[in-house]
Amino acid sequence: MVEYEVLQNGIRINNPPNFDLAQTLDCGQAFRWSQNDGVWSGVAGGRYIELYSDENGIVLKNTTESDFTTFWADYFDLERDYGKIISEISTDKTLKTAASYGSGIRILHQEPYEALCSFIISQNNNIPRIKGIIERLCRKCGEKKGEHFAFPSAEKVAALSEQELRDIGCGFRARYVLDAAKKVADGTIDLECLKKCDTKTALDTLMSIKGVGPKVADCTMLFGLNRIEAFPQDVWIKRAMKNLFPNGLPECAVPYAGIVQQYIFYYARNNL
DNA sequence: TCCCAGGCTCTCT
DNA sequence: AGAGAGCATGGG
């Protein structure tokens, strides 16, 4: 467990290793975070939060100790020793470069359905527009939390019509979003089970949803089911792999494929 | 303006 | 089994 301090109006994580807010919240793994004057804000797990970093660490504003220990510590993957992983994969020179560049990235533990739905919306789409669609979806049927909205449950989304989803900008993805919501809501797919079953079963189950192929399934695995063996391959990764690793992913990276994917993705988007 | 986006489905060889 | 068109939409 990381060291933290209870402040008057929040929690400070004391000098957390390998945790950079900008890298973690703006590297394309989650779509509900934004930054203003150095303060990051967003909603996760139905909780609105604001964070910023100062010389002593990272401050979670207006957060209780119990919210921190029971939710945020897990959400930000604070238990995982990223330094150890980076040192292990740094036996490969190229991986060392990529990992050093994005050494402050942590894989968020997003809610399974939020990840699934978000990455269905992400297909053939750009990040600003993805964020807009998701925000409108949350406003339409997410639970209101003060001035902000939680990500809606699968049940809430399943109750919408395809036309309503088109109206908020989903386009041709509307029927995919609906199919996923229905399969999760009626129990055809149990996302919690997919956290534990074998990799192939989990992928095949996810891909039984209309509009879910290998990429969206892998993103759901990595970002929603905490399965770091998943290695989502989008256009950026494919390009980067061709350039940087023509012979495939180095052996030392295989146990941490998903985390390594984020290092390569972040490095490629900013340097290739 | 007009191109294109963290893909997938469907169709045609 | 591999390649290619089409898909809805609006941000840049």
A237 touches strand B (CB under 7 A): yes
pLDDT at A88 over 70: yes
In this predicted structure, what is the pLDDT of residue A130? Answer: 98
CA atoms within 13 A on the CB side of A170: 27
**A7, β-bridge pairs:** A10
User: If phi over 0 gives left and psi between -120 and 50 gives alpha, with beta otherwise, what is residue A3?
Assistant: beta
Protein-contacted bases of chain B (C-beta within 7 A) = 4-9
**In this structure, are residues A251 and A220 in contact, taking their beta carbons and an 8 Å threshold?**
no
| Lookup: nucleotide whose C1' is closest to A27 CA | B6
Residue A37 pLDDT level (bands cut at 50, 70, 90)? very high
Give A212 CA → B13 C1' in Å.
Answer: 25
In this predicted structure, what is the pLDDT of residue A272? Answer: 78
Pick the more confident residue, A111 or A235: A111
In this predicted structure, what is the pLDDT of residue A185? Answer: 98
Q: Which whole number is the average pLDDT over A236-247?
A: 92
pLDDT at A1 over 70: no
Model pLDDT for residues A189-213, shown as the tens digit of each residue: 999 999 999 999 999 999 999 999 9
Angle between helices A93-101 and A257-271 (to 10 degrees): 70
Q: Which whole number is the average pLDDT over A55-70?
A: 97
Model pLDDT for residues A98-152, shown as the tens digit of each residue: 999 999 999 999 999 999 999 999 999 999 999 999 999 999 999 999 999 999 9
